[in-house]
Copies of this chain bind each other. A is one copy, B any other.
Amino acid sequence: MNALKLTAKTTRPPTVIQVGHARIGEGFTIIAGPCSVESEEQTLQTARAVKAAGADLLRGGAFKPRTSPYAFQGLGLEGLKFLEKARAETGLPVVTEVIDPRDVSWVAEYVDVLQIGARNMQNFSLLKEVGKSGKPILLKRGMYSTLDEWLLCAEYILSEGNPHVILCERGIRSFEKYTRNTLDLSAVPSLKELTHLPVVVDPSHATGRLSLIKPMSLAAVAAGADGIMVEVHHKPCEAMCDGDQSLTPEAFVELVGEVRRLRAFLDGKG
């Protein structure tokens, strides 16, 4: 392994990142919302639903890194304004992806946490820029990335003076095609050995299958994750992106209940 400096476990106590009421790295944080922001109504309705269900943060993409240039690329500024409204109404802090270093400073004014997506994990210009922003960063693992490479990307952010990095395991690419990616849950306790940074798990992108989200969320809790990030849409069948892996608000309520009870049990409070 390459030498880690700022991210290495030995150098610091576990990092706790305060975002709104959530203390990421201490309690168990649930981040939820639509893959992409599509309209004001969709954003507000989903935000209300995930708030009511007990989510800690709202996620929603205004800039979408899509495989094809002809796919929906996100609403941009308009989408950020919908997220801002949703935050104002629900009080939920907002996580959104940023994909261009030129957008970092102004996008940071609209949201609480900036997400670096899997495809941009080694976009070093972007990493440096979000490092300068001072905002909490949710750094997804690249689908081809070793733990070592991933942590060095976090190191890019920390070395710019920003200590607020949340790692997000979202599945690696393997030969198995039943699931969209292969969720590497052993990364969770492995990272706990290597770094002081909090680790959350995204079972939605990892599996790409609705039926697997609950079992893999519970498994993430049991593996020691600090939180999960799941896709929720108020009307999944109408979603412009990832509809087939988005939970309904009803399914999300059930998920939150089971996840919270399991975590309380494991914390000795069950």
Contact = CB atoms under 8 A, between A and B. Distances in A.
A152 B183 contact: no
Contact of A190 (B69, B212, B219): B212
A185 B219 contact: yes
Given A147-B176, A174-B174, A65 B182 contact: no
A236 interface: no
A207 to B, nearest CB: 5
B215 A188 contact: yes
A134 interface: no
Contacts of A189: 211-212, 215-216
A120 B123 CA distance: 6
A213 B107 CA distance: 42
Interface size class of A (residues with CB under 8 A): 35 or more
B183 A179 contact: no
Among A67, A126, A188: residue with most chain B CB under 10 A? A67
A65 B159 CA distance: 16
Contacts of A156: 69
Contact of A221 (B5, B178, B222): B222
A262 B177 CA distance: 30
23 contacts: A5-B70, A67-B122, A67-B149, A67-B152, A99-B124, A99-B125, A100-B125, A119-B124, A146-B175, A172-B176, A174-B184, A175-B175, A179-B186, A182-B186, A183-B185, A185-B216, A186-B207, A186-B216, A189-B215, A189-B216, A215-B222, A222-B262, A265-B265
A146 to B, nearest CB: 6
Contacts of A120: 122-123
A251 to B, nearest CB: 15
A230 to B, nearest CB: 15
A193 interface: yes
Contact of A101 (B101, B146, B218, B221): B101
B223 A122 contact: no
Contact of A119 (B123, B215, B218): B123
B148 A178 contact: yes
Nearest to A184: B182
